[in-house]
Copies of this chain bind each other. A is one copy, B any other.
Amino acid sequence: MSELTQAPSRAWEWLGLTLAETAEGTAVVEMNPTEDMANHAGFVHGGMISTLADSAMGRSIRTIKPGVSRAASFDLKLNFIAAAKIGETLRATAKVVHAGRRTVVAECRVEGKDRRLVATASATFAITREKE
């Protein structure tokens, strides 16, 4: 749920999210989970993985043409596949699967060390396109 400016949001800064790569229809976002993000078992809290995936998907839809002036996710789905460790860089690769006039569907893969698959995700966004 964000107006799409270019500077990182407060949440991105706080969580240490960084944009590693971007191209039309894709975005790769990284996070280095800190001790603060640990769940009871000492692994990364699922919600943090969910946040990373949501952020990468939200970022990927800024790359489409014609541009998107406003976007709000109304649907987010995660499949958790493997536990992620504190300190292990997590890399979320998001891809726009469908870009309509009013909705966008994106998918995401979250990988840990040695490209181990940690989670997959999908999301739907309600968007407003920029005037041309």
Contact = CB atoms under 8 A, between A and B. Distances in A.
Interface of A: 1-5, 9-11, 13-14, 35-41, 43, 45-48, 50-55, 58, 72-83, 97-98, 100, 102-103, 105, 107, 117, 120, 122, 124, 126
A51 B3 CA distance: 22
Chain A contact residues: over half helix, strand or loop, or mixed?
mixed
Contacts of A35: 10
Contact of A103 (B3, B105, B126): B126
A120 B103 contact: no
A58 B51 CA distance: 17
Contact of A37 (B10, B79, B117): B10
Given A37-B11, A74-B80, A1 B117 contact: no
Contacts of A72: 80, 83
B74 A81 contact: yes
A107 B77 CA distance: 13
Contact of A76 (B50, B100, B126): B50
Contact of A39 (B2, B52, B79, B124): B2
Contact of A120 (B36, B81, B122): B122
